[in-house]
A and B are shown apart, each in its own frame.
Chain A
């Protein structure tokens, strides 16, 4: 299994506080990975670095077969290269319909002039419907996304991610605020997605992670504490210390 993303020796500090400390991490082409860690472990900052929102002080982030560095690219370029991100708080464009949201996310030329003259064709509507079915919003296509429930917004955001056809999906706490049934649905979506692409899930909820049934990376104070199956890491002494307090 070849590597899709390789992060090595990355550090970043804010006003002297080291948020990420010499962190190294790698993920394959089609792999599901969960990242856990206590508050302030650097999970969000880690995602910020991959998506180009935060520039690290040192280290490298290499991407794809050609091992391109992501550090010199803008957020939009990184997204176009195939990194999709779902935020902790559902962020969809509430003033626009579900269909518009999905059309916007659909993989197409992102150049402003191309977009200006682009009008959706039959295949585009079919693709949108397909995704909407997958995330269970096919009946809500014409509704404004601001009217959706919290869970539906989360799914819409995942749907937008899927529409983007990314090669790496970064998902921040997808299950927060969901009912058990909704969680089930979300799990299925993520496991399904991971069959064809790499998926990184950041989550607090151990039960959710157990259901994902994947390798787990534990972050603590900005670096990797342990890595392996969930059972493996939960048996690790240090991890227990960190979670339960010393």
Chain B
């Protein structure tokens, strides 16, 4: 910076006297002067020679000229028409810098200067021209930027500069990117057919979207009409015969008439309009108007009109056939070389197969993640419904309460990581408390009356939902996940899974183990199983059934709360959050087999993969997917009324 200032001072001293610009003009100034007219005119259509001249000058200062030009830093001195790079000193005065020497040559009043303002189209052209300089720029960041802009939008003129820049590239990563881009540009732009085919084959095992983007234009086709047979020398995909090959007569004729090769077909609208214009004394060409609600009569009247020359002739089917038979229709590749299109088709086929396999993998991952969400939503139920046999329709609302707890915590603790760590135990505590209260106040009085339990908990569910609406309003509340859960694990362009789903999968596994541990290894689990199987006997052995029921129910509810935090992280938190999961959760438990956690796991797996499978078959419609899934479950229960893993014999009860 200091250097520049000193330089500027020296320059100012040296050139204190105004000089005749022409005399001192360097080579770049010469080029600019040569094209001065079009530079000043600044039109995208005519500017090309000027840019090419600067870029192709081979002068080291070309890059800085282009950059200045692009940045609207190029000014013309009106007195002598010379171009300079100008820097603002104050609002009125500019310092002029010569392009060739890079030295400040003068200061000038703004009124004596004219700014060259290239429009965005020109700036883009300059940018393209700049790329080849930037590809060799000593700064790796600028090289990466240039490469990125190339990847977005390439041009055939850039293939050579790109190739030239590969060998000298020092950064291995950039070099790999350059090589890959070079292959893609070769596919699109290389003049040599063999080189293109080689590149196509080389890239045919690559799953990148950009590869497909490079290949797809090669196999793009247009439907063309030829009088007689298609001429030789075209790269024909196939000849279409009207009425066959999914190519209807109607669309064929429409193509013909659109191309002006045949008279337009008379539509029923056209008939009606023509008829309406020719009503005379309640008749059209002799046909009474009131009869014209019959389509056959309309044609009759229209034909008569046409015969009188008052309307375009009505086309008969025979005339249509005639017109069609004298033309041929063919799909033509835009790319003239058959060898290239064949190679591209084959490559796309190979890529499609690999993409299909990867999509299957992606689908499996998706299904797995959905299954773990269902499992998470259902695991609390597996305890309250599966083990205790208590049907709690407010379970969904416990999930909702957990999610809202997470939201409230996040309002108080802005740090997302900390807030999630606080929210999970807090959600457990809140819903544990709610569960215990529900058990003590309501469910306790209704043991062994499942239908009434169902109804009473419905009441609770309705009330809790409305309460949430009253407190939090009806709009969705966000529960933001910490940044480290924000991204996605990307395997390739097809397969990716967000970290949050992986976290939920992990959480589901954790809960599974927790459940197994509590039920099989702890005193509470033992007592729960005892109380569930025979409360009287358990009571006689010194277990307090009331306390055990309360704790177990609380546990199931608490887990629902944690599930709520997890679900809230990827779904919007609304008062209806629980409703969206409750039926599926019950289905998961019922399908899996009541009273068996492995069954619940299998049930979640089944339902998750089923839903994803149906969505894959009909991707536009998740509502339909849910509909069909529920129908499937209803039918499934026909064959395994007691679920996948069923208890047998007398233990199963009646």
Binding site for B on A (CB under 8 A): 14-15, 17, 19
Chain B 631-654 interface mask (CB, 8 Å, partner A; 1/0): 000000000000000001111000
The interface residues of chain A lying within 8 Å CB-to-CB of B651 are 14-15
Apart from A14-B651, A19-B649, 4 more pairs, CB < 8 Å? A14-B648, A14-B649, A14-B650, A15-B651
CA distance A17 to B648 in the complex (A): 11
The interface residues of chain A lying within 8 Å CB-to-CB of B650 are 14
The interface residues of chain B lying within 8 Å CB-to-CB of A15 are 648-649, 651
CA distance A15 to B646 in the complex (A): 11
Closest Cβ neighbor of B649 among chain A residues? A14
CA distance A19 to B651 in the complex (A): 13
Chain B residues touching A, majority SS: helix
CA distance A107 to B650 in the complex (A): 31
Shortest beta-carbon distance from A177 to chain B in Å: 19
CA distance A90 to B648 in the complex (A): 26
The interface residues of chain B lying within 8 Å CB-to-CB of A17 are 649
The interface residues of chain A lying within 8 Å CB-to-CB of B649 are 14-15, 17, 19
CA distance A14 to B649 in the complex (A): 5
9 A-B pairs with CB atoms under 8 Å apart are: A14-B648, A14-B649, A14-B650, A14-B651, A15-B648, A15-B649, A15-B651, A17-B649, A19-B649
Shortest beta-carbon distance from B409 to chain A in Å: 47
Closest Cβ neighbor of A48 among chain B residues? B650
The interface residues of chain A lying within 8 Å CB-to-CB of B648 are 14-15
Chain B 83-125 interface mask (CB, 8 Å, partner A; 1/0): 0000000000000000000000000000000000000000000
The 8 A-B pairs with the shortest beta carbon distances in the complex, nearest first, are: A14-B649, A15-B648, A15-B649, A14-B648, A14-B650, A14-B651, A15-B651, A17-B649
CA distance A109 to B518 in the complex (A): 55
Chain B 200-229 interface mask (CB, 8 Å, partner A; 1/0): 000000000000000000000000000000
The interface residues of chain B lying within 8 Å CB-to-CB of A19 are 649
Closest Cβ neighbor of A13 among chain B residues? B649
Closest Cβ neighbor of A44 among chain B residues? B650
CA distance A29 to B650 in the complex (A): 31
CA distance A17 to B649 in the complex (A): 10
CA distance A174 to B20 in the complex (A): 132
CA distance A15 to B649 in the complex (A): 7
Most buried by A among B648, B649, B651: B649
The interface residues of chain B lying within 8 Å CB-to-CB of A14 are 648-651
CA distance A158 to B651 in the complex (A): 28
Shortest beta-carbon distance from B451 to chain A in Å: 16
Shortest beta-carbon distance from A127 to chain B in Å: 31
CA distance A15 to B650 in the complex (A): 10
Shortest beta-carbon distance from A215 to chain B in Å: 29
Shortest beta-carbon distance from B536 to chain A in Å: 16
Closest Cβ neighbor of A17 among chain B residues? B649
Shortest beta-carbon distance from B287 to chain A in Å: 60
Closest Cβ neighbor of A53 among chain B residues? B654
Shortest beta-carbon distance from A52 to chain B in Å: 13
Closest Cβ neighbor of B654 among chain A residues? A53
Shortest beta-carbon distance from B34 to chain A in Å: 98
Shortest beta-carbon distance from B439 to chain A in Å: 30
CA distance A14 to B652 in the complex (A): 10
B595-654 interface with A by 8 A CB criterion: 648-651
Shortest beta-carbon distance from A39 to chain B in Å: 13
Shortest beta-carbon distance from A23 to chain B in Å: 17
Most buried by A among B648, B650, B651: B650
CA distance A15 to B645 in the complex (A): 13
Shortest beta-carbon distance from B524 to chain A in Å: 26
Shortest beta-carbon distance from A82 to chain B in Å: 24
Shortest beta-carbon distance from A42 to chain B in Å: 11
CA distance A14 to B650 in the complex (A): 7
CA distance A79 to B650 in the complex (A): 22
CA distance A17 to B650 in the complex (A): 11
CA distance A224 to B648 in the complex (A): 25
CA distance A202 to B163 in the complex (A): 98
Most buried by B among A15, A17, A19: A15
CA distance A19 to B650 in the complex (A): 10
Closest Cβ neighbor of A12 among chain B residues? B649
Most buried by B among A14, A17, A19: A14
Chain B 71-82 interface mask (CB, 8 Å, partner A; 1/0): 000000000000
B309-342 interface with A by 8 A CB criterion: none
CA distance A15 to B648 in the complex (A): 6
CA distance A19 to B649 in the complex (A): 10
Shortest beta-carbon distance from A199 to chain B in Å: 25
CA distance A14 to B648 in the complex (A): 6
Shortest beta-carbon distance from B269 to chain A in Å: 57
Shortest beta-carbon distance from B407 to chain A in Å: 47
Shortest beta-carbon distance from A161 to chain B in Å: 20
